[in-house]
Amino acid sequence: MTLAELLPSIGCSTEPVLEEGLWPDGTHLSGSDLVIGGVPATRLAAQFGTPCQVLDEATVRNRAKAFVAALPEAEVVFAGKSLPCPEVYRWMASVGLSLDVSSAGELALARAAGFPAGRIVMHGNVKTGEDLKAALEYGVSRIVVDSFDEIAQLGALARHGQEVMIRVTPGVDAHTHAAVSTGVEDQKFGFSLASGAALEAVLRVVEQPSLRLVGLHCHIGSQVRHVASYEETVRRMVGLIASCGVRVEQLDLGGGFCAPYLPGESSFDLFGFAQRVRGTLSYECALHRVPVPRILIEPGRSIVANAGVTLYRVCAVKRGARTFVAVDGGMSDNPRPALYSAKYAVRLVGRGGKLRPVTVVGRHCEAGDVLAENVLLPADVHAGDVLAVPVTGAYHHALASNYNQVGRPPVVAVRDGLARPIVRRETEEDLLRRYV
Ligand SMILES: *Cc1c(COP(=O)(O)O)cnc(C)c1O
């Protein structure tokens, strides 16, 4: 850290510096306000209400382009489940990415976005008949099969030549949270490499006249920090390609590249990943005398997480042994603390003050509805203040619920000083529409 970066925190304890790497590109302080995509956070809160999920378009586009630039020979596939929204899918299409969907619903959003079918991959450990029919009807380019039942079902439904990849469990521990560790043995995803199920799946697909095997797929987990986990995955997957005796044109390494959530956490080493995966792939393919397959990668979180900021309004403050700051959202717009013990930074926007540790909690009827513990806010934080929580672009809109019949927040895109909703706020009318 340079002295210049340190100075603001020395000179003024009431205006904490902006944590590096967490906020959307170009986010800066203007007095005590936070400017995102050229728009002050206080204005966004006033104009669109709270809670409000702000998404910086330039950050999303830049991160997507960074993947393409790091691995120009690869197909970069956006994991659509991380931020399901037609407008976001259009941004991905326009910068040359492909799209992963994992249900007929996500595919419906892709269709609404006009996303080219030839660049859509369908996933999922359970695909219902409706999911598969929707995929075939739209003509998605590849379907990643995940069970023997699915191979048989898809074989019967598909027209001639449907391209298929096989989801393999390579047995690599990505050293991440158990709820998002998907590459190890003994969990629900894919065909085990170690047990021989993956090889058996290759044979079963090849036997189906309507299916054409184009690739092998794996996804070792999410919030993966170590490039070495991907190198080990490449070694194992090329070993499988060599033993399966058929031409494998594509090797999909999945996503899972980590994003920083707290000050001091680093971003994923994309350049190191590209170099080391490329090197390992060509070495292993030469060793096993197999042609080098085209690499696919499926980033979700690492593209959109740091592009998002959620704005809340403080509704109540309770002071006791701890200070609880209660806001107008909570686990309905961010269940990640409850699901994964996820931690977040929080800052108050629009004014300063001497900082004190507080616990920020949500409005829902669960003791576990805590958004952030032990974060520093001005000691006189009070009802009406606006709080900003960074790193809410991935798996926030996607995981939002209507618990307590709270309408889900809008997603407001910001760019060059302009703000526009790309998902509108859910109203009581929306909620009532489903009840009979
Ligand atoms: C969820 C998922 C991804 C994206 O994971 P991130 O951690 O968001 O990068 C990629 N591929 C598959 C198959 C997934 O299930």
pLDDT, tens only, 349-375: 999 999 999 999 999 999 899 999 999
82 C-beta closer than 6 A to ligand 1: yes
Task: Read off the tokens for 158.
Answer: 């598909």
- For the CA of 298, the closest atom of ligand 1 is 10
- Could you tell me where the beta strands, DSSP code E, fall in 207-253? 211-217, 250-252
Q: What angle do CA 147, 242, 258 make, to 5 degrees?
A: 65
Cα 107 to Cα 140, 187, 252: the distances in Å are 9, 26, 20
At 180, is the secondary structure helix, strand, or coil?
A: helix
Could you list the residues known to form a binding site for substrate, using ranges: 301, 336, 340, 366, 395
Residue ranges matching CATH 2.40.37.10 in the chain: 3-55+306-433
DSSP string covering 73-95, please?
TSEEEEEGGGS--HHHHHHHHHT
* Cα within 13 Å of Cα(143), Cβ side: 35
- Could you tell me where the beta strands, DSSP code E, fall in 238-385? 250-252, 294-297, 308-319, 323-327, 347-349, 355-361, 370-378
* Angle between helix 227-244 and helix 197-207 axes, rounded to 10 deg: 50
Q: What angle do CA 68, 69, 75 make, to 5 degrees?
A: 25
Helices (H), 343-434: 428-432
The predicted pLDDT at position 16 comes to 66
- The Å distance, Cα 338 to ligand 1 centre, comes to 20
- The Å distance, Cα 255 to ligand 1 centre, comes to 5
The predicted pLDDT at position 188 comes to 81
- For the CA of 257, the closest atom of ligand 1 is 9
What stretches in the chain show pLDDT beneath 50? 1-4, 7-13
CATH classification of 3-55+306-433 is 2.40.37.10, yes or no?
A: yes
CA gap 30, 126 in Å, rounded: 48
Nearest CA, atom 10, ligand 1? 255
The predicted pLDDT at position 180 comes to 67
Could you list the residues known to form a binding site for pyridoxal 5'-phosphate, using ranges: 256, 298-301, 395
Residues, the chain, total?
436
CA gap 82, 95 in Å, rounded: 18
CA gap 36, 417 in Å, rounded: 8
Residue ranges matching CATH 3.20.20.10 in the chain: 57-304
The predicted pLDDT at position 156 comes to 97
Query: 365 catalytic, yes or no?
Result: yes
Model confidence, pTM:
0.94
Residue 21 falls in which region: left (phi positive, over 0), alpha (psi -120 to 50) or beta:
left
79 C-beta closer than 6 A to ligand 1: yes
- The Å distance, Cα 299 to ligand 1 centre, comes to 6
Give the right CATH number for 57-304 from 3.30.110.30, 3.20.20.10, 3.40.50.11810, 3.30.450.40: 3.20.20.10
* Catalytic-labelled residue, pool 244, 285, 315, 365: 365
- Could you tell me where the beta strands, DSSP code E, fall in 37-141? 39-40, 52-56, 75-79, 98-101, 120-122
- For the CA of 221, the closest atom of ligand 1 is 7
For residue 144, what are the β-bridge partners? 165
